[in-house]
């Protein structure tokens, strides 16, 4: 087991009607002037936004709102939000929504706390982030795990780059999580979420680090739970039990606990971000579209690790590690198919792409081959291109 430090300080308020505690939670965490950040309208349509506003009114908390966050959220809206937060002297940013609203709220918080710095310079770590404004969350989708993660992802639409920033300042103060709020999700978003939750654990699981029994057991248990309940949620997304399991797994999958003591790989995420940056593909779909090509490209680096995944998560009995590894990869792909998720670039709405576009993405993913992607197998530009080509059918 490698040495690690772990601090995941988010207060979780989980269960039916949990959103009724939002006003009190904002107050508890010091918010008196709030910028309320949300997406394209689902929170307004469901009546949730109005309920949250009333919650804040009941606690005499001043608020203004900023809607219009798009999936694959844009840097420009975070910059606009930071200006608005400064103007209203916000001391708290409250996101109502999923990863996109939350990550925009995190960007706003960093921008507003550091008006003298350029937000993209913060994002690319050209300048060091030393302070931020507290953020809280009312979660409406189980997927990105941003409600407990130390990460936030924005797209700089001017240069076509989607980039994550990891910092302790990205940990939110509280997350209100009522699984019932996810009943209104389009089915495609439920299944994109299932893939993303699996992938946050899988992208940590495939590592050469040894001796991580507890972390491995947590990861395997989480994957089995998501797979089982994902199937149920796919059939009936008003199954409270299944939606609860998905919601809690979503948070645990990306708060660090499923990868403690091991080095972090995240190659499928890094490659899939290029697809989202270029074509605005939904995050979960971009992951399932490249995963098989990535897995088949790298598994021979340590087939025993893939075989362990196959045996513990998919109950595969094959003794030969290479064969077991392949069966585990196939079981994962079959599962994605069973919940109607794309398993190749050609199955995405963008269809099969010309090779020049794949070359461009491979160059971007590796900064013109100046750095490698990932640890399980270090991927150079030529490797990323090969994986994209293998996924392009
Ligand atoms: O915008 P609205 O109208 O709210 O609609 C959203 C959006 O279209 C809709 N939706 C959300 N909750 C709903 C709902 N529709 C009906 N009922 C509800 N209850 O779902 C769509 C997707 O929302 P989004 O916030 O984009 O989803 P998700 O949580 O999957 O977030 C994806 C973003 O998070 C990033 C992704 O890259 C992507 O940009 N990630 C963030 C991470 C982090 N901060 O730690 C880690 C992840 O790996 C990921 O990269
Ligand atoms: Zn993700």
Instruction: Quick: pLDDT tens for 16-55.
Output: 999 999 999 999 999 999 999 999 999 999 999 999 999 9
pLDDT value of residue 376? 96
Q: Where in the chain is the domain with CATH 3.40.50.1970?
A: 11-181
CA of residue 340 to ligand 1 center, whole Å = 18
pLDDT value of residue 263? 92
d(CA 241, CA 253): 18
> 187-391 adopts what CATH topology?
Dehydroquinate synthase-like, alpha domain (1.20.1090)
Q: Which atom of ligand 1 is nearest to the CA of 155?
A: 39
pLDDT value of residue 324? 98
- What are the residues whose beta carbon lies below 5 Å from ligand 2 (ion)? 196
Q: Where in the chain is the domain with CATH 1.20.1090.10?
A: 187-391
Residue 194 beta carbon below 6 angstroms from any ligand 1 atom = no
Coil, helix or strand at residue 38: strand
Instruction: Quick: pLDDT tens for 83-103.
Output: 999 999 999 999 999 999 999
d(CA 207, CA 263): 6
Residue 203 phi/psi, 5-degree rounding, is -70, -15
pLDDT value of residue 86? 98
- Name the residue with the closest Cα to ligand 1, atom 25: 98
Measured N-to-C along each axis, helices 381-391 and 283-298 cross at an angle, to the nearest 10 degrees, of 110
CA of residue 141 to ligand 1 center, whole Å = 7
Asked if residue 72 lies in contact with residue 11, where contact means CB atoms within 8 angstroms, the answer is: no
d(CA 22, CA 376): 41
d(CA 62, CA 167): 28
Asked if residue 167 lies in contact with residue 203, where contact means CB atoms within 8 angstroms, the answer is: no
pLDDT value of residue 130? 98
Pocket test for ligand 1, best of 283, 286, 288, 341 (most atoms within 8 A of CB): 283
pTM over 0.75, yes/no: yes
Q: Which two tokens stand for residue 38?
A: 């949300």
What CATH number was assigned to the domain covering residues 11-181? 3.40.50.1970
Counting ligands in written order, which one lies closest to the CA of residue 276? 1
Counting ligands in written order, which one lies closest to the CA of residue 140? 1
The residues with which 162 forms a beta bridge, in sequence order, are: 155
Residue 367 beta carbon below 6 angstroms from any ligand 1 atom = no
pLDDT value of residue 355? 98
Q: Within the chain, which residues score under 70 in pLDDT?
A: none
- Name the residue with the closest Cα to ligand 1, atom 43: 146
CA of residue 63 to ligand 2 center, whole Å = 30
pLDDT value of residue 106? 98
């Amino acid at each position: 087991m490698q040495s690690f430090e772990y601090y995941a300080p988010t207060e979780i308020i989980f269960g039916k009607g949990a959103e009724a505690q939002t006003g009190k939670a904002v107050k508890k965490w010091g918010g008196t002037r709030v910028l309320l950040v949300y997406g394209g309208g689902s929170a307004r349509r469901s009546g949730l936004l109005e309920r949250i506003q009333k919650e804040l009114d009941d606690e005499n908390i001043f608020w203004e709102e900023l809607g219009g966050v798009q999936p694959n959220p844009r840097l420009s809206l975070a910059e606009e939000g930071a200006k608005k937060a400064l103007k209203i002297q916000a001391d708290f940013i409250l996101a109502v929504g999923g990863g996109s609203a939350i990550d925009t709220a995190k960007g706003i918080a960093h921008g507003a706390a550091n008006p003298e710095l350029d937000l993209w310079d913060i994002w690319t770590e050209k300048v060091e982030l030393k302070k931020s404004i507290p953020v809280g969350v009312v979660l409406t989708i189980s997927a990105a795990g941003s409600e407990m993660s130390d990460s936030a992802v924005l797209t700089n639409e001017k240069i076509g780059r989607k980039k994550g920033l990891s910092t302790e300042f990205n940990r939110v103060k509280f997350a209100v999580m009522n699984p019932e709020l996810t009943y209104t999700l389009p089915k495609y978003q439920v299944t994109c979420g299932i893939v993303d939750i699996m992938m946050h654990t899988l992208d940590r699981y495939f590592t050469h680090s040894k001796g991580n029994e507890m972390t491995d057991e947590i990861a395997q248990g989480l994957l089995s739970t998501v797979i089982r309940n994902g199937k149920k949620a796919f059939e009936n997304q008003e199954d409270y039990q299944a939606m609860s399991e998905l919601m809690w797994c979503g948070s645990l999958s990306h708060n660090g606990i499923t990868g403690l003591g091991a080095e972090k790989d995240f190659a499928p995420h890094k490659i899939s971000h290029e697809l989202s940056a270029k074509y605005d593909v939904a995050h979960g779909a971009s992951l399932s579209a490249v995963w098989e090509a990535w897995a088949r490209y790298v598994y021979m680096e340590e087939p025993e690790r893939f075989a362990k995944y196959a045996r513990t998560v998919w109950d595969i009995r094959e003794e030969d590690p290479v064969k077991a590894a392949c069966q585990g990869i196939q079981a994962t792909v079959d599962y994605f198919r069973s919940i109607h998720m794309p398993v190749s670039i050609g199955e995405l709405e963008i269809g099969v792409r010309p090779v020049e576009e794949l070359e461009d993405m491979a160059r971007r993913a590796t900064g013109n081959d100046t750095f490698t992607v990932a640890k399980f197998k270090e991927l150079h530009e030529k490797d990323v291109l090969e994986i994209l080509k293998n996924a392009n059918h």
